């Protein structure tokens, strides 16, 4: 299973995490966790994980059981928007980030790992 990192995701979410772990480390950990995805609303999944010493949460969507596309990444302790990570509470944000990811993919603004 391959991972697509879109330009928008990297700019908005991942750049703040570069001080904690590298992009390659992030992708490797994502691939290791693929059996522990928690379903939000198909094809969206949430993942809870500790990378290095940082507890992170992220939301991904899966394209045709072949490609993992992360769309949201945040710290576990970041409770500003994430009181309870669920489809009902965060549907608008998830769909907005999903549309941005699809636009990046359509414009070939992504990297495949």
Mean pLDDT to the nearest integer, 84-103: 87
Q: How many domains does the chain have?
A: 1
Domain that holds residue 91: 2-112
pTM for this entry: 0.84
Residue-wise pLDDT tens digits, 48-93: 888 888 888 888 888 887 889 999 888 887 766 556 677 887 888 8
Q: What is the predicted pLDDT for the residue at 79?
A: 66
3-state secondary structure 29-95: HHHHCHHHCEEEECCEEEEEEEECCEEEEEEEEEECCCEEEEEEEEECCCCCCCCCCCHHHHHHHHH
């Amino acid at each position: 299973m391959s991972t697509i990192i879109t330009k928008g995701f990297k700019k908005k979410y991942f750049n703040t995490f570069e001080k904690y772990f590298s992009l390659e480390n992030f992708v490797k950990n994502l691939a290791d966790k693929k059996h522990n995805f928690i379903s939000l609303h198909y094809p969206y999944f949430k993942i809870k994980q500790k990378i290095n010493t940082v507890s992170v949460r992220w939301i991904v969507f899966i394209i045709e059981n072949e490609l993992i596309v992360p769309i949201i990444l945040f710290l576990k302790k970041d409770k500003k928007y994430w009181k309870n990570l669920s489809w009902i509470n965060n549907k608008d944000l998830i769909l907005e980030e999903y549309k941005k990811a699809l636009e990046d993919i359509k414009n070939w603004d992504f990297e495949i790992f």
